[in-house]
Amino acid sequence: MDGIIIIDKPSGITSTEVVRRIKAKVKPARVGHLGTLDPFATGVLPIMIGEGTKLAPMLEGGEKVYEGIVKLGVETDTLDRDGNVIREAPVPSIDDARLHQVARQFTGKIDQVPPVFSAIKREGVRMYKLARKGNPEDLAPPPVRTVDIKQLSVLQGDAADELRFIATCSPGTYARALARDIGVALGTVAHLKELRRTRSGSFAIAEATSLDDALSGAGRIIGLREALPNLAELDVDDAAEKLLRNGDPRALEGQLPAGSEMFKVIHHGELVAVAKATSRVTAIIVRGFNPSS
């Protein structure tokens, strides 16, 4: 049970609840997730199991792809459909040319003010906890951050007051804040009505399984080796494998993969370690993995 399973998270539960339910099935194995999705959102939620939890630092920086629906004319305190309405405004007439212009405006590196309802900490406390204690509008907004929206398309939705978007963006981008800002750019207010993540790093929705199927044992576990497809591989013999299991990187000297700073060390098809070259002939162990039982 060491590896990663890609869950198509259902709407209505937190990412933490998904972890809790899977952990109850695989205990005592450790379980964690990559990239929190809001309760109303659906889509790709990579769940790490057992030794797979050690992969988190190597996987959490991948770009994300989101598809969503923006509701114009209404803003909520959470910037999504689950929040309380805090203001309304007329929705102007919008044509395709204007939507194309807005998409260009928010493509590339942009400054974004995260939602008050977020996991960002202020004086050690998550801001969503502070927002729940009083009037969210009384809280100073979180600090501006620079995010990278690499591709963005914005199209008219099924209703006159709805837009559809697809965004490829850097980690840390808030789709709820993007919905708010698109509304402002169009001369109105807005919130995020629907959100679906279709890719997180190298993990795509086509690989995902439903939570119910995963809990019944039907989900596919992506092995440790397979979960790092972009790293070069170095196969080692029995003697080197034994040294590496004991944390000794000297077994790698003189046989590093050419042109690769980070690489996987493999023995009989199993991931032994992730290593980093420190010169053309030496390396350090970034993370070692216990042998499968």
CA distances from 93 to 97, 162, 184 (A): 12, 12, 14
| Alpha carbon distance 73, 63 (integer Å) | 30
- Residue in this structure with the two tokens 């989101």, named with its chain if needed: 66
Phi and psi, residue 55, nearest 5°: -80, -10
CA distances from 107 to 39, 144, 178, 191 (A): 26, 17, 11, 19
CA 129 to centroid of chain Cα atoms: 22
CA distances from 187 to 93, 180, 183 (A): 10, 11, 6
Alpha-helical runs (H) found in the chain: 15-26, 56-59, 96-105, 127-133, 175-185, 211-215, 238-245
Give the number of C-alpha atoms closer than 13 A to the C-alpha of residue 84, restricted to the C-beta side.
8
77 is an active site residue: no
- Residue in this structure with the two tokens 């019944």, named with its chain if needed: 216
| Alpha carbon distance 157, 123 (integer Å) | 40
Give the SS3 label for residue 262: strand
CA 158 to centroid of chain Cα atoms: 28
User: Smallest Cα–Cα separation from 215: which of 47, 42, 41, 3?
Assistant: 47
Q: Which of 2, 8, 38, 77 is catalytic?
A: 38
Catalytic residues: 38
